[in-house]
Chains A and B, each alone.
Chain A
Amino acid sequence: MNGGVNGVALAVFVFFFVLVTVMGFRAARWRKAENEHSLDEWGLGGRSFGTWITWFLLGGDLYTAYTFVAVPAAVYAAGASGFFAVPYTILVYPLIFTFLPRLWSVSHRHGYVTTSDFVRGRFGSKGLSLAVALTGILATMPYIALQLVGIQSVLDVMGVGGSESTHWFVKDLPLLIAFGVLAAYTYSSGLRAPALIAFVKDGLIYLVIAVAIVYIPLKLGGFHEIFAKAGDALAQKDPATGKPRGELASGPDAQWAYATLAFGSALALFMYPHSITATLSSKNRTVIRRNTTILPLYSLMLGFLALLGFMAIAAGIKVDNGQLAIPQLFENMFPDWFTGVAFAAIGIGALVPAAIMSIAAANLFTRNIYKDFLKPGATPEQETKVSKLVSLLVKVGALVFVLGMDKTVAINFQLLGGIWILQTFPALVGGLFTRWFHRWALLAGWAVGMVYGTLAAYGVASPTQEHFGGSNAAIPGIKETGYIGVTAFVLNVLVTVVLTVVLRAVKAPDGVDETRPEDYTADAPAPAPRPAASAGAPGGDAGRPDDDRPEPVPAP
Chain B
Amino acid sequence: MSAAPPTPPGRRPAGAVITPTRVLAGLCLFAPFVGILWVGSYARVEPELIGIPFFYWYQMLWVLVSALLTTVAYVLVRRENRDRAQQRAEAGDPR
Chain A residues lying within 8 Å of B40, measured Cβ to Cβ, are 252, 255
Please indicate which of the listed interface residues A90, A435, A529 has the most CB atoms of chain B within 10 Å of its own CB. A90
CB proximity to A under 8 Å, residues B35-64: 36-40, 42-45, 48, 50-56, 59-60, 62-64
Please give the distance in Å from B46's CB to the nearest CB on chain A: 9
A101 to chain B, nearest CB (A): 7
Q: Which residue of A lies closest to B50 (CB)?
A: A223
**Structural contact, A249 and B29, CB atoms closer than 8 A:** no
Given known A-B contacts A86-B60, A98-B5, A300-B63, A529 and B36 have beta carbons under 8 A apart = no
In the complex, are the beta carbons of A296 and B70 less than 8 A apart?
yes
A250's partner among B6, B43, B52 (CB-CB below 8 A) is B43
What A residues does B5 contact at CB under 8 A?
A: 98
Measured CA separation A354–B80 after assembly (Å): 39
Residues of B within 8 A of A529 (CB): 82, 85
Closest to B1 in A: A95
Compute how far the CA of A258 lies from the CA of B39 in the bound complex, rounded to whole angstroms.
8
| Residue in B closest to A88 when the chains form the complex, CB atoms | B36
Q: What range describes how many residues of B lie at the interface?
A: 35 or more
- In the complex, the answer to whether A249 meets B55 with C-beta atoms within 8 Å is yes
Q: Is the CB of B71 within 8 A of A227?
A: no
Complex contact A248–B6 (CB within 8 A): no
Stretch with Cβ within 8 A of B (4 or more), from A400-408, A503-511, A517-525: A517-525
Q: Are B59 and A83 in contact (CB under 8 A)?
A: yes
* Chain A min CB distance to B86 (Å): 8
Closest Cβ neighbor of A101 among chain B residues: B6
A296 touches B74 (CB 8 A): no
Contacts of B33 in A (CB 8 A): 91, 94, 263
Q: Is the CB of B82 within 8 A of A249?
A: no
| Docked complex Cα distance between A225 and B51 (Å) | 8
Question: In the complex the two chains form, is A248's CB within 8 Å of B70's CB?
Answer: no
Report the separation of the CA atoms of residues A95 and B32 in the bound assembly, to the nearest whole angstrom.
10
In Å, the complex CA distance between A528 and B88 comes to 12
Is A392 an interface residue, CB under 8 A from the partner?
no
Contact of A97 among B9, B11, B74 (CB under 8 A): B74
With A98-B2, A250-B43, A289-B77 given, is the CB distance from A83 to B55 under 8 Å?
A: yes
The docked-state distance in angstroms from the alpha carbon of A453 to that of B60 is: 31
Min distance, Cβ B27 to any Cβ of chain A, angstroms? 11
- Give B residues with C-beta under 8 Å from A: 1-2, 4-6, 8-11, 28-30, 32-33, 36-40, 42-45, 48, 50-56, 59-60, 62-64, 66-67, 69-71, 73-74, 77-78, 81-82, 85, 95
Chain A residues numbered 303-317 whose CB sits less than 8 Å from any CB in chain B? 303-304, 306-307
User: In the complex, A255→B74 CA distance in Å?
Assistant: 31
Check A94 against B2 for contact (C-beta < 8 Å): yes
Chain B hits for A481, CB < 8 A = none
A94 touches B54 (CB 8 A): no
User: Which residues on the B side are within 8 Å of A224 (C-beta)?
Assistant: 48, 50-51
Q: With A98-B29, A223-B52 in contact, do A90 and B6 touch (Cβ < 8 Å)?
A: no
Q: Name 13 interchain pairs, CB-CB below 8 A, sorted by A.
A: A86-B60, A87-B59, A90-B36, A91-B66, A94-B69, A94-B70, A97-B29, A231-B45, A248-B45, A259-B38, A296-B66, A303-B59, A518-B11
Report, nearest first, the 4 A-B pairs whose CB atoms are least far apart.
Answer: A223-B51, A224-B51, A296-B67, A249-B55
The residue from B32, B39, B64 contacting A91, defined by CB atoms under 8 A apart = B32
Which A80-132 residues have a C-beta within 8 angstroms of B? 80, 83, 86-87, 89-91, 93-95, 97-99, 101-102
**Residues B51 and A87 in contact, CB atoms below 8 Å apart:** no
Q: Mark A284-306, 1 if CB is under 8 A from B, else 0.
A: 00100110111011011001101
* Closest chain A residue, CB of each to CB of B40: A255
From known contacts A91-B36, A521-B8, infer whether A227 and B51 are also in contact, taking CB-CB under 8 Å.
yes
User: Which B residues touch A294, using CB under 8 A?
Assistant: 67
Q: Is the CB of A248 within 8 A of B60?
A: no
8 A Cβ contacts from A251-287 to B:
251-252, 255, 258-259, 262-263, 286
Whether B9 and A434, one on each chain, are in contact in the complex, defined by CB atoms closer than 8 angstroms, is: yes
Q: Given that A94-B32, A98-B29, A293-B71 are known contacts, is A528 also in contact with B82, CB under 8 Å in the complex?
A: yes
Residue from B6, B39, B67, B70 whose CB has the most chain A CB atoms within 10 Å = B39
Contacts of A263 in B (CB 8 A): 33, 37
Query: Contact between B37 and A249 (Cβ–Cβ < 8 Å)?
Result: no
Query: Would you list which residues of chain A between 210 and 252 have a CB under 8 Å from chain B?
Result: 222-227, 231, 248-252
Which A residues are in CB contact (< 8 Å) with B62?
Answer: 87, 90
Across the interface, which residues of A come within 8 angstroms of B8, CB to CB?
102, 517-518, 520-521
Q: Is the CB of B32 within 8 A of A433?
A: no
Known A91-B36, A98-B6, A529-B82; contact A303-B54, beta-carbon cutoff 8 A: no
Name the CB-closest residue of B to A294: B67
| B36 pairs with A87, CB closer than 8 A | yes
Contacts A98-B5, A249-B43, A303-B60; A528 near B81 (Cβ below 8 A): yes
- Nearest Cβ on chain B to A255's Cβ, whole angstroms: 4
When the two chains form the complex, which single residue of A226, A293, A306 contacts B70, counting CB atoms closer than 8 Å? A293
The verdict on A527 contacting chain B, using a C-beta distance below 8 Å, is yes
How far does the alpha carbon of A93 sit from the alpha carbon of B1 in the complex, in Å? 13
Establish whether residues B51 and A226, one from each chain, have CB atoms under 8 Å apart when the complex forms. yes
